[in-house]
Amino acid sequence: NSSADHRVQLDLGLWDKFSELATKCIIKIVEFAKRLPGFVNLSIADQITLLKAACLDILILRICSRYTPEQDTMTFSDGLTLNRTQMHNAGFGPLTDLVFAFANQLLPLSVDDTEAGLLAAICLMCADRQDLEEPEKVERLQEPLLEAMKVYVRRRRPDKPHMFPKLLMKITDLRGISAKGMERVITLKMEIPGSMPPLIQEMLENSYGSEAGGTTSGSSSPGTPEATPPTAGTPEPAHDAPHGKG
């Protein structure tokens, strides 16, 4: 497979596979968000804003949590495994090396499922997202998540007191990659024939250009409870965000 050996602008077969997986992942992120305490009590506009702003952050976190350094590959939730060149050709393009570098930075931190889930939740409940109507309400919802993370990390690693702030700094790194990811979404829309899958387009397109993936609120979105699948039977949040199976 020549696509596995050298970089091309876009491999449409790989793009189709990746976009299908990304769509399933977005649905899981919405389900995950609705299970977080207090999320569904926020205004619909704020729910949409938070989901759109954090969607790419959590997508990247999920992918990077399944990195295999020996093969330099990422494994997706359906078992699809791609090497660095294939990831580039699947649509990541210039974002590829940034994502792999982030995955390598996560390795020495030994992040487990619970920590990855808490990181995703904290990432979602960021009160500094642009266009939030009630940022103070979001901040209050984030506080117990931060406390849970601090307690869990310190109990798991009593000999490493600086691990909690190190993990939180990864959210800043994630948001930096996501900001570049939004630029990649714009380029991809010009590269692929036809239109993007509607859920990917809806969740990502309006986020471009805002700080760290903030977005305009007030439009209909897959993030609204009425438009999302029921959450019954979904995994617990701590395991769903990084490792939920599509």
- Domains with residue ranges and CATH for the chain: 12-127+134-219 (1.10.565.10)
- pTM given for the model: 0.80
For the cut 50, the answer to whether the pLDDT of residue 83 exceeds it is yes
Please give the single-letter amino acid code of residue 40. Answer: V
Q: What is the mean pLDDT of residues 123-149?
A: 97
For the cut 80, the answer to whether the pLDDT of residue 215 exceeds it is no
Q: What is the mean pLDDT of residues 56-75?
A: 94
Kindly state the tokens that stand for 109: 């931190």
Report CA 221 to chain centroid distance, whole Å.
Answer: 17
Match 């960021």 to its residue by tokens.
126
Kindly state the tokens that stand for 5: 């050996």
pLDDT reported for residue 107: 95
For the cut 90, the answer to whether the pLDDT of residue 212 exceeds it is no
Kindly state the tokens that stand for 10: 């876009």
* Residue 94, number of CB atoms within 10 A of its CB: 11
Kindly state the tokens that stand for 70: 């020996």
Q: What is the mean pLDDT of residues 64-81?
A: 91
- Going by pLDDT thresholds of 50, 70 and 90, the confidence category of residue 3 is low
What are 182-198's pLDDT values in tens digits? 888 888 888 887 778 88
Match 């930096």 to its residue by tokens.
176
Q: What is the mean pLDDT of residues 159-169?
A: 95
pLDDT reported for residue 205: 63
Q: What is the mean pLDDT of residues 136-152?
A: 98
- Residue ranges with strand state E in 76-121: 81-83
In the predicted model, what is the mean pLDDT of the chain? 83
For the cut 80, the answer to whether the pLDDT of residue 4 exceeds it is no
SS3 (DSSP) at 162: coil
B/e letters for 211-240, b = 16+ CB within 10 Å, e = fewer, are ebbbbebeeebbbeeeebeeeeebbebbbb
